[in-house]
Amino acid sequence: MLLKYQLDMEQASLSDEGLSEYLWPYPLDHMLPFRNNFTENLVTETRDMCGNNVEGSTGLLILLHHLFLDALRLFYCVRVVEGFSSLGRRVAPPPRAYALSAIADGKIPPPPDIYRILLSGPPRPKRWRAPFRLSRDYIVTEEITRRRIRDPDYKSEIVAATISPLTEEHAKSINERVTFRRPHVWFNEPPKGVDSGDTPRCVDTVLDILKTAFLHSGTAPPCWLDDYVSGWLGPGIAQVEAYLHNIESAPEYIPRHLWVGTGGDIWTRILRYATRRNHGHVTAHDHGCGAGQFQGEFHMNILEFESCDRFISFTEAQADGLRQHHLNPHFLIRDDAPVIANVMHQKHPNRHRTRAVGDPKTIMVVSNFYLGDHIVPSACISDVAYCDFEARLLAHLRDWGHKIIYKPRPLIGTRAPADFAARFDGREENRPSETVLHNADVLILPSPTSTSFATALASKVPSVFIDFGMITHSNNARAALEKCCAIVPAPHGPNNRIVINWDLLQQAITKAPSLDDDTYVSLFHGRVV
């Protein structure tokens, strides 16, 4: 019988040396051959099916991003179970890792969250909160109008289905009225009695592509794969197309000019396609800290560029980086490409630090997400490797005499133990980042793609970036980043464990307060952070 290995980091056994028993079967980039093969073939075949109007191809196109993420999750879970089995262990997944738990037990995984979301319909405002919502909407005087006595003219006015700092900044830069409408107003009750009938041919095509990608990566497709994919993808496509049909049956409410945020939201995603199919114009807006400062990844094409006419990023440098390093017609289904632009706004003010440069005493460790079986498109660190590293990091900071503040990220899959910081004589801080960052002399930052990274750099608190090699900055971004924060490499080493030169880290903490340059924030975030 195989020995159990705990993947729930809340239950992890830790010491100053990290996990009491460290095991991880794969290097950081082990999923990339699968990802690249699957995506290449999926885009090619979807383009062909859409061009030939194959049944279900429209719904498949709208679901393409979610299908992509689900395929990555499936492959990851199968690989993890097999990898630990080869080490003589059976995995004990976190409670919220439903796919991994099922696969570890030899069962078919439950459908992905996107299928449940489609069946439930978009979230609707709570009725009991209506008075508070009405008061806020009429009182708030931001650039985007939140509430009006009458509906906007959908055929002449700009309608926003998302409000964010970037959409507000965009609205400020133009002389047109922008009115906010929550996505649920375009969606009545979830379509009832939707019957996908026979499985659309496109589902069989997806299955073939998925099996090929498994084999390409040296992993046999699981025996339950056919039942899993056909069990949710066919009905999911039917549900999406039913929602799309309902919107198009009331063309007077389809915006001529629609503003949206992230392409990951299925409701605004359906609305994007309805708008463009009915000769409207879709303007999408960047989110997080943007991707223009990083070397190219194809997933921006699937996530964002496929379903909009214009994509607005934060700054000129962000927009230029997206055009140079991310926009790739090879990964677009459509024949054309969206225009990528930026919000016209002033340069970020040159704010100098008020904290005296000296020996840093208080260190805030801004943690990364613990993902469980939630997978991101780029290479990502396993929870096991990251928890092991954080334990060693906090132990060193304590031994160096620093006061430790540990800032965890919101729960996704699992998290470090509840008393994690206290074990190393630190304290946990759960208030919003922007309100607590200035309590530290130096910040330690792990994830350059997160909003918290941009917020931290904009805060002017001295920072140290731990570079795990997950994603690569463009040359100009890297040069600018080196001027505003200290950088310490932390690659995966023997046994796929994170290694770091602790002397270099100690030197970086001392060096960080002397690095006071606004170039990176000005180039890539501007005033919208």
Q: Render pLDDT for 158-183 as a digit per residue (tens, 0 to 9).
A: 999 999 999 999 999 999 999 999 99
What's the length of the chain?
A: 529
The rounded mean pLDDT for the chain is: 91
pLDDT higher than threshold 70 for residue 516: yes
Residue 480 forms part of a structural domain: yes
Nearest in space to 65 (alpha carbons), one of 44, 43, 36, 50: 43
Q: Cα 343 to chain center, whole Å? A: 22
Range of the domain at 304: 126-181+250-344
pLDDT higher than threshold 90 for residue 404: yes
269 and 313 within one domain = yes
505 and 433 within one domain = yes
504 and 394 within one domain = yes
Residue 36 forms part of a structural domain: no
332 and 371 within one domain = no
463, 443 Cβ separation under 8 angstroms: yes
398 and 290 within one domain = no
pTM of the model: 0.92
pLDDT in tens, 321-341: 999 999 999 999 999 999 999
Residue 473 forms part of a structural domain: yes
Residue 12 forms part of a structural domain: no
Total number of domains constituting the chain: 2
Please give the pLDDT value at position 227. Answer: 96
254 and 152 within one domain = yes
pLDDT in tens, 293-304: 999 888 999 999
pLDDT higher than threshold 70 for residue 124: yes
pLDDT higher than threshold 50 for residue 346: no
395 and 336 within one domain = no
Long-range Cβ pairs for the range 135-143 (8 Å, 24+): 142/168, 143/168, 143/169, 143/171, 143/172, 143/178
Please give the pLDDT value at position 529. Answer: 52
Which residue type, as a one-letter code, is found at position 285?
Answer: H
377, 297 Cβ separation under 8 angstroms: yes
Share of the chain above pLDDT 90, in %: 78
Q: Cα 220 to chain center, whole Å? A: 28
**For residue 497, what is the domain's CATH number?**
3.40.50
Last residue in a domain, options 318, 344, 370:
344
Long-range Cβ pairs for the range 316-321 (8 Å, 24+): 316/342, 317/292, 317/293, 317/476, 317/477, 317/523, 317/524, 318/286, 318/290, 318/291, 318/292, 318/293, 318/342, 318/523, 318/524, 319/292, 320/292, 321/291, 321/292, 321/293, 321/294, 321/474, 321/477, 321/524
Please give the pLDDT value at position 407. Answer: 95
pLDDT in tens, 16-69: 999 999 999 999 889 999 999 999 999 999 999 999 999 999 999 999 999 999
pLDDT higher than threshold 80 for residue 246: yes
176 and 275 within one domain = yes
More confident residue, 317 or 289: 317
Residue 262 forms part of a structural domain: yes
Last residue in a domain, options 344, 372, 391:
344
Residue 270 forms part of a structural domain: yes
396 and 329 within one domain = no
> pLDDT band at residue 139, thresholds of 50, 70 and 90?
low
Residue 278 forms part of a structural domain: yes
Residue 9 forms part of a structural domain: no
308 and 176 within one domain = yes
pLDDT in tens, 460-483: 999 999 999 988 999 999 999 999
275 and 143 within one domain = yes
pLDDT higher than threshold 80 for residue 234: yes
Cα(498)–Cα(466) distance, integer angstroms: 11
Please give the pLDDT value at position 45. Answer: 97
Please give the pLDDT value at position 356. Answer: 46
> pLDDT band at residue 188, thresholds of 50, 70 and 90?
confident
Which tokens in the block code for residue 170?
């965009």
516 and 384 within one domain = yes
pLDDT in tens, 84-119: 999 999 999 999 999 999 999 999 999 999 999 999
pLDDT higher than threshold 80 for residue 415: yes
Please give the pLDDT value at position 132. Answer: 52
